[in-house]
Structures are given as structure tokens and as C-alpha cells.
């Protein structure tokens, strides 16, 4: 082999080594580039997922806040309506109850309910029944029959009562008069609200 062939062989060997090393370097660089790109995509997906989760959470909180505000406004409106209803109902109730007392069938029911309560709560014996104007003789005779022993029932007009009656027995009283019925405002308001809420 002559010098020129040796030089050429050496040059070819160097070129092959250079090509191999360049290929290795390029492959390593490509692998590192792929890994970096893959890692960058993974980080980008992670950041996007986190940003979307944060956006969803903010949206959920906004929706929850809007729902809470709407419910609060609805509750306040309902409370305002209930308060307004109670104010008007309590103002009109005395006149409505007085009107009921003036109607014979309503008055009879009123007195029968008071008498039923008295029979449950008061001891047997003589009763004094104070009543508002409007109680008729037939009402009194029917009540005496309903109550059992008519001789133990003494009916007495009380001109101060606008409507209703009071039943006294052995120092106790069942107050079914208009002032008596209106005196327990808390229970009265609760009953009115319950009736209002059940009205469609």
C-alpha cells in the first residue's frame, strides 16, 4: 500500500469515525430533544389542566355564589311577603272574627269548640259562661244540651265582649273571647303563616 492509499484509508477511517460520532451526537441530541419536547408537552398539559381546574372551580364558586344570592333574595322576599301578610292578617283578624260571631252557624261552631275545650280542661260542676252579645236563646239551649247538665251552666251577657265567650269553672277559665283568642300572638302568627304557606 502506498502512502497515498494509506492516507486515503486513514482519511476514510477518520471520516467514518466522524460520521459515527456525528450520528451518535445527533441521536443523543435528538433523544434529548424528544425528551425535552415530551417533558415540555407534559408540563404544558399539566399547566393547562391546572388552569382548567382553577377556571372550573372559579366558575363553580361563581355559580354557587349566584345561587346563594338568589336563594337569599327569594328567602328575604318570602320573609317580607310573610311579614306583610301577617301585618295585614293580624289587623283584619278582629273584624273577621267579629263578623263570624254575628253569623249563627259560625257562632254555634265557635261556642261548641270552646265548650269541648272546657269539658276537657275544666272540672265538672257549675260553670259560669260569659258571652258577647248575639248569643241567641236557641244557641244557649243547644249548648246546655251539648254540655250535658244544663242546670250547672249559667249564661251571662258581658257587654265588654265584642265576640266570643269565657267559660269559668272552679277558678279556671277557658277564654274563647275575641281578646283571649288574639292574646297569644305567637301561636296565632304561626297558625296564620302555616295557613298562608298551604294556600296554593
Domain layout of the chain by residue ranges: 1-82, 103-198
Mean pLDDT (whole number) for 33-51: 90
Contact status, residue 105 vs residue 134, Cβ threshold 8 Å: no
How does residue 145 score in pLDDT terms, banded at 50, 70 and 90?
Answer: low
Residue 1 pLDDT greater than 70, yes or no: no
Rounded distance, CA 192 to CA 184, Å?
Answer: 12
CB < 8 Å & 24+ apart, contacts of 196-200:
196/82, 196/85, 196/89
* End-to-end Cα, the chain, rounded Å: 115
Rounded distance, CA 167 to CA 173, Å?
Answer: 5
Q: Is the pTM of this model over 0.75?
A: no
Q: Who wins on pLDDT, 147 or 162?
A: 162
Contact status, residue 129 vs residue 67, Cβ threshold 8 Å: no
Task: Of 159, 157, 154, 133, give the one whose Cα is nearest residue 143.
Answer: 154
* Percent above pLDDT 70 for the chain: 93
Rounded distance, CA 154 to CA 195, Å?
Answer: 36
Mean pLDDT of the chain: 85
Whether the CA torsion 72, 74, 75, 80 is positive or negative: it is: positive
Rounded distance, CA 88 to CA 129, Å?
Answer: 32
Task: Please name the residue that has the C-alpha cell 251571662.
Answer: 156
* Percent above pLDDT 90 for the chain: 25
How does residue 11 score in pLDDT terms, banded at 50, 70 and 90?
Answer: confident
Taking only the tens place, the pLDDT of each residue in 83-107 is: 888 888 888 989 998 999 999 889 8
Rounded distance, CA 191 to CA 82, Å?
Answer: 12
Query: What is the b/e burial string over 42-71, where b = at least 16 CB atoms within 10 angstroms of the residue's CB?
Result: eeeeeeeeeeeeeeeeeeeeeeeeeeeeee
Amino acid at each position: 500500500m502506498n502512502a497515498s492509499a494509506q492516507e486515503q484509508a486513514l482519511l476514510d477511517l477518520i471520516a467514518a469515525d466522524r460520521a459515527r460520532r456525528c450520528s451518535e451526537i445527533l441521536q443523543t441530541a435528538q433523544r434529548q430533544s424528544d425528551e425535552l419536547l415530551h417533558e415540555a408537552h407534559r408540563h404544558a398539559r399539566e399547566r393547562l389542566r391546572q388552569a382548567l381546574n382553577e377556571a372550573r372551580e372559579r366558575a363553580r364558586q361563581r355559580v354557587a355564589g349566584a345561587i346563594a344570592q338568589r336563594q337569599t333574595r327569594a328567602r328575604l322576599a318570602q320573609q317580607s311577603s310573610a311579614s306583610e301578610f301577617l301585618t295585614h292578617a293580624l289587623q283584619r283578624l278582629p273584624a273577621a272574627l267579629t263578623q263570624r260571631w254575628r253569623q249563627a252557624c259560625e257562632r254555634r261552631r265557635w261556642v261548641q269548640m270552646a265548650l269541648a275545650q272546657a269539658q276537657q280542661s275544666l272540672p265538672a260542676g257549675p260553670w259560669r259562661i260569659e258571652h258577647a252579645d248575639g248569643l241567641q236563646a236557641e244557641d244557649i239551649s243547644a249548648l246546655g244540651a251539648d254540655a250535658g247538665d244544663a242546670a250547672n251552666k249559667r249564661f251571662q251577657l258581658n257587654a265588654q265582649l265584642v265576640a266570643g265567650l269565657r267559660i269559668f269553672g272552679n277558678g279556671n277559665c277557658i277564654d274563647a273571647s275575641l281578646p283571649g283568642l288574639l292574646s297569644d300572638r305567637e301561636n296565632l302568627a304561626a297558625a296564620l303563616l302555616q295557613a298562608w304557606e298551604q294556600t296554593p
